[in-house]
Amino acid sequence: MHASAGFLPIIALLPFLGALAPGLVIRAGRNACASFTAIPTALALIMLGFCAPAVFSGEVLTYSVEWLPALGLSVSFFLDGLGLLFAGMILFVGLLITLYARHYLSGEDPMGRFYTYLLLFQGAMVGIVLSDNILLLLIFWELTSLSSFLLIGYWNHLPEGRQGARMALTVTGAGGLAMIGGMLILGDIAGSYKLTDILAAGEAIKASEHYLPALILILIGAFTKSAQFPFHFWLPHAMAAPTPVSAYLHSATMVKAGVFLMARMWPALAGTDAWFYIVGSVGLITMILGALIALFKDDLKALLAFSTVSHLGLLTMLLGFGTEAAAIAAVFHIINHLTFKAALFMTAGIVDHETHTRDIKRLGGLRYLMPITFLIAVVAGLSMAGIPLFNGFLSKELMLEEAAHTSWLGSPYVVPVLATLGALLSVAYSFRFIVHTFLGPVRDDYPHKPHDPNPGMWAAPGFLALLVVLIGIFPQATVGPLVELAATAVVGHELHHWHDLKLWHGVTPALIMSIIAVIGGLLLLTRHGPLDRLWLAARRPEAKRIFDAGLGGAVATSGRLIRGSHDGSLSRYLTIFCATVLVLGLTAAATGGLAPATRPMLPVSPVAVVGFVLLVVGTVGMLFAHRHRFRALIIISVVGLMVSAGFVYLSAPDLALTQISVETVTVMLLLLALHFLPKDTSVESSRITRLFHGGIAVAIGLAVSALTFAFLRRDFSTISDFHLANAKSGGGGTNVVNVILVDFRGYDTFGEIIVLGIAGLTIFALMESLLGGRAARRLRNWIFAHRRSEDRHPLMMVVATRMLLPMAVMVGVYIFLRGHNLPGGGFVAGLVIAIALLMQYMASGFAWAQARQKVEYHALIGFGVVIAGLTGVGAWFFGKPFLTSWFGYVHMPPIEEFELATAALFDLGVFLTVLGAVMLMLYSLSRIARYAGETVNVEAMDYDPSKSADDKESR
């Protein structure tokens, strides 16, 4: 690895880091803000400068760090000629734009936000051109779509800005999605997501049967980004952005990303007929269409936008030709277009800034009022028109030369004639930009009195105009080596036909085509007036209207779809969901195979039959009784008991213990809920609906039965032998289930207790928000429909529970302690203690119990999670991974030898969390009850003998 390769990730990251600064520094003033934007850009540019000599000597710098190796995603950067050219352009123009925007933005615009977005965008762009991993490239690609959305919508008080931003995001985002598909196919063919590997596998890719789909998907991404026909319509609407954004994104950088991608993928994808006809033709159409529309646009920025579309088409067409000379021409034109178009955009921004209008028909004669701006505009405009001595001429010559040698569908005339037509139109709109804005008589009706802006504003375009002239006169001395280097990177091998760039090539077909274009263009401009009226009268398809209609149609269709399926009825969602699951399951069952049954069935004992019958009776009874809610609660507890008994019978004592204690708290919870809810459910769905639901339920039940029976009859492989073998020696416990929970899978358990704790806190938060809102008033006026008991805390129950409490706690502690070796453990112990405490609440009343309760439940949850977590962290201090447990045996007479294990400490955390969460849940529910006017007893027993029988009747 070359020493300077270490700069690559820093170059890509600097703009992102720098993006943090402007938003903060804006408080120190606008100049400080602009400076802090320029600093990271300049630093990155300097580092790129350090890398440049190595690249010029023919090296390719690479830098790679694994990110997600399983997905083939790595943070890999590489720098070759093409990357150097683009990264240099992006950072260099970024600096100029920073300077220009400082003077362009007005005092009311939030400048910190602008520069932050600008740096985000810059970072994403640099990331694209430096990425050596196509997945990483896709990430940066999407980032440019997002950051350009923010920049286009920067003036978010303007509807055009918002609409333009939305349209750009929709079109480029959709293209990005297509490109992800294409890139994945490409990576699949090449067997690697590394760009350098893919470029080397060009032959295999072109021979693959998936070449065409991959090509089309990637091209959709490139075409949308570079505004190629038929996706060209978003670019002019993106001109609602501030002019610095238009100059940066929509002429110099972002729209070139698509061109960059086609150039980057050139060795892998170009050279086939499909490439030539798709890329070449789309480029040709876009070039002519863009130029034609540009000629008739009155808005300066719209004119430039369509001319950009046209020039991007030109670049696409050149890349589509697939020849070496065309690649050279494309690279050269990328540089030239950057210089003159950014200058022109900035000029248009100056005109707009000074005269307060961009409408060509309201302008003219500005050459006397704004001589400096006029000079810049003339230089850049003539370059765009392709007039000799300016750089646009040189690359246009190269383009025409290539076009002259290209035959399309067997015809040698189509491409040269159309290319000349494109050049002709380009001459016409370029001169229109100059003539109609700056020449002609001085008018007296400008919206604002124009004059040249301060030097800060014209410095950037002026510098670019200087470059236009320098490159135009000394092409080889200024950019020749860079063009050669980048073109070599595009084609992927040494250039065979490199000629130094020069001004005069002799009388070639290209020169003749150029002369025709210039004369024709000027003639066309003289006839602009009548043609313009004709154009305005003609019916043209309006892209925005089509786009809006398409979008509206999509919204309406999905709206109908959603209203049909998700209409706010839970029953309907779940019906659709269940039916889908059923269909998918049946399809899978019908298409898959089934191995023969190998496992013998266990004999059925009479006890099991009794349990099964009780379960069936309970479940069926539940269905018939669920409208009587109290009855349903009693029946569901029978079902739960049978499930617990089944766990006991089938060798799962831990599960049985857990199930039975959960059953108890669940029934208490539902009882508390039923305190408020209606006590009966009326019949509401029609008989047909019920039959339909019953049918779905029975079908799924049968399917689940069949599935369960199928796998129960078949043998399986398990990793549990490891757990069984190592539970004692590695985890220090004989209850393997508990050892798995606190040791082997301790990380899972840690997560699960956190979930439980969050559930408890969620319930508490829901309760708090309910009691703070509309529900609270309703609750204050709550009238219970049913007769209440006058003896809420019966004597016998109070006494019995008081007696039971120490015993219940003892049982809980016992279950906790034995958990590591015998059935039990933190989960069960937590539930048992919770039940013991709940009994006190139920028997003796809330206030009495609450007064004797010293620890907050929230704190219990917190302590539990922290203790479990600290136990895990403790392992670090012994150089072990998180949650490695330790155990040892301590002999302490007169007690027998006993075991100390850190796992017990972890289990303590589990215990506390479970206890806290369960108590917090029930506490929250009971708090609602007290809010609803439930009187709170001060004493444990509050029998009210004063209530007469009449009172009871009246309630």
Partner 1 sequence: MELLVALSVGLLTSAGIYLILRLRSFAVILGMAMLSYAVNVFLFATGRLAVGAPPVLSYAKDVSYTDPLPQALVLTAIVISFGMTAVLVMIALGAYFEAGSDHVATDPEDLDDATP
Positions in 561-580 near partner 1 (CB under 8 A):
567-572, 574-575, 578
Q: What is the distance between the alpha carbons of residues 314 and 442, in angstroms, rounded to a whole number?
A: 36
Closer residue to partner 1 (CB): 752 or 856: 752
Q: How far is the CB of 689 from partner 1 (least distance, A)?
A: 8
447/357 Cα distance (integer angstroms)? 7
How many residues touch partner 1 under the rule CB under 8 A: the total is 120
The residues, ordered by sequence, that sit 6+ positions from 580 with a Cβ below 8 Å of its Cβ are none
* For partner 1, the closer CB: 542 or 768: 768
Print the binding letters for residues 744-763 with partner 1: x by CB under 8 A, - otherwise.
-x--xx--x--xx--xx-xx
The span from the first CA to the last CA of the chain, in angstroms, equals 88
Positions 777 through 806 that interact with partner 1 (CB under 8 A): 778-779
If one asks whether residue 507 binds partner 1 (CB under 8 A), the answer comes out as: no
Residue type, 718: T
Measured from the CB of residue 226, what is the shortest distance to partner 1 in angstroms? 47
Binding of residue 835 to partner 1 (CB under 8 A): no
Element (H, E) at 768: helix 746-771
Between 689 and 789, name the residue whose CB sits nearer to partner 1.
689
* Contact flag: residue 437 with partner 1 (CB under 8 A): no
How many Cα atoms sit within 13 Å of 295 on the Cβ side?
A: 29
> Residues 115-154: x/- map of binding to partner 1 (CB under 8 A)?
----------------------------------------
Torsion of CA 427, 432, 438, 444, to 10 degrees: 170
* Residue type (1 letter), 801: T
Here the tokens at position 366 are 């500005």
- Residue 768 CB contacts under 8 Å (≥ 6 apart), including other chains: none
Candidate list 629, 631, 792, 858; residue touching partner 1; CB under 8 A: 629
Q: Which is nearer to partner 1, 564 or 794 (CB)?
A: 564
Q: Candidates 225-233, 470-478, 551-559, 815-823 — which segment interacts with partner 1 by CB under 8 A?
A: 815-823
CB 23, min distance to partner 1, A: 39
Which of 407, 508, 557, 681 is the binder for partner 1 (CB under 8 A)? 681
Q: Which residue has the tokens 């209207």?
A: 545
Using the minimum distance from each CB to partner 1, give the nearer residue, 778 or 787. Answer: 778
CA distance 621 to 618: 5
CB 210 within 8 A of CB 63: no
Q: Can you tell me which of 253, 735, 840, 902 binds partner 1, judged by CB under 8 A?
A: 735
| Contact of 633 with 674, CB cutoff 8 Å | yes
Q: Which two tokens stand for residue 77?
A: 């950067």
Comparing CB distances to partner 1, the nearer of 24 and 724 is 724
Q: What is the C-alpha to C-alpha distance for residues 306 and 301, in angstroms, rounded to an integer?
A: 9
Count of all residues that appear for the chain in the document: 955
Q: How far apart are CA 352 and CA 242, in angstroms?
A: 11
| CB of residue 778 to partner 1, shortest distance in Å | 6
- Distance, in Å, from the CA atom of 514 to the CA atom of 890, rounded to the nearest integer, reads 98
Q: Using the rule CB under 8 A, is 212 a contact of partner 1?
A: no
DSSP string for residues in 521-536: HHHHHHTHHHHHHHHH
- Find the Cα–Cα–Cα–Cα dihedral 97, 100, 104, 108, rounded to 10°: 70
Task: Name which position in 214, 254, 737, 912 contacts partner 1 (CB under 8 A).
Answer: 737
* Tokens found for residue 588: 């899978």
Distance CA 805, CA 843 (A): 11
Asked whether 921 and 829 are in contact (CB, 8 A), the reply is: no
Q: Closest distance between partner 1 and the C-beta of residue 560, in Å?
A: 15
User: Per CB under 8 A, which region of 156-164, 227-235, 596-604, 857-865 contacts partner 1?
Assistant: 596-604
Tell me which of 206, 443, 544, 626 binds partner 1, using CB under 8 A. Answer: 626
Distance in Å, CB of 653 to partner 1, minimum: 5
Q: Which of 555, 677, 859, 870 binds partner 1 (CB under 8 A)?
A: 677
249 interacts with partner 1 by CB under 8 A: no
Considering only residues 917, 923, 927, 940, which one is a binding residue for partner 1 as defined by CB under 8 A?
A: 917
What is d(CA 860, CA 868) in angstroms, rounded to the nearest whole number? 12
Signed CA dihedral, 481, 486, 487, 488: sign only: positive
Q: Please identify which residue in 57, 106, 682, 781 interacts with partner 1, judged by CB under 8 A.
A: 682
Q: Strand pairing of 73-79 and 887-890?
A: unpaired
Shortest distance (Å) from residue 759 CB to partner 1: 4
281 neighbors 228 (Cβ within 8 angstroms):
no
Please report whether residue 767 would count as binding partner 1 according to CB under 8 A. yes
Residue 476 binds partner 1 (CB under 8 A):
no
Identify which of residues 139 and 579 has a Cβ nearer to partner 1 in the complex. 579
* Residue written as token pair 């019920």: 690
Closest to partner 1 by CB, 505 vs 728, is: 728
Among 212, 583, 586, 609, binds partner 1 (CB under 8 A): 609
In sequence order, what are the residues at sequence separation of 6 or more whose Cβ sits closer than 8 angstroms to the Cβ of residue 854? none
Question: Between residues 194 and 820, which has the closer beta carbon with respect to partner 1?
Answer: 820
559 sits near partner 1 (criterion: CB under 8 A) = no
Whole-number Å distance between alpha carbons of 707 and 439: 85
Element (H, E) at 901: strand 898-901
Among 697, 800, 803, 807, binds partner 1 (CB under 8 A): 697
Q: Work out whether 774 is an interface residue with partner 1 (CB under 8 A).
A: yes
Task: State the nearest-atom distance from the C-beta of 905 to partner 1, in Å.
Answer: 18
What is the smallest separation between the CB atom of 743 and partner 1, expressed in angstroms? 10
612 binds partner 1 (CB under 8 A): yes
Q: Is 166 in the site for partner 1 (CB under 8 A)?
A: no
Nearest distance from C-beta of residue 666 to partner 1, angstroms: 6
Q: Which stretch binds partner 1 (CB under 8 A): 217-225, 232-240, 687-695, 859-867?
A: 687-695
Is residue 507 exposed (0-12), middle (13-18) or buried (19+ Cβ within 10 Å)?
A: exposed
Q: Which of 30, 162, 631, 713 binds partner 1 (CB under 8 A)?
A: 713
Interface with partner 1 includes 583 (CB under 8 A)?
no
724 binds partner 1 (CB under 8 A): yes
Look up tokens 């199930």; give the residue: 659
| 309 touches 235 (CB < 8 A) | yes
Q: Binders of partner 1 among 918-947, rule CB under 8 A? A: 918, 921, 924-925, 928
Minimum distance from residue 955 beta carbon to partner 1 (Å): 22
Count the alpha carbons within 13 Å of 453 in the hemisphere toward its beta carbon: 26
- The torsion defined by the Cα of 717, 723, 724 and 725, in degrees rounded to 10, comes to 110
Near partner 1 by CB under 8 A: residue from 603, 888, 893, 894? 603
What residues from 642 to 671 belong to the interface with partner 1 (CB under 8 A)?
A: 643, 646-647, 649-655, 658-659, 662, 665-666, 669-670
Stretch that binds partner 1, among 211-219, 329-337, 380-388, 912-920 (CB under 8 A): 912-920
Least Cβ distance, residue 726 to partner 1 (angstroms): 11
Distance CA 535, CA 293 (A): 9
Q: Does 207 bind partner 1 (CB under 8 A)?
A: no
Q: How open is the CA angle 581-586-589, to the nearest 5 degrees?
A: 125
Least Cβ distance, residue 918 to partner 1 (angstroms)? 8
Per-residue DSSP letter, 887: E
694 near partner 1, judged by CB under 8 A: yes
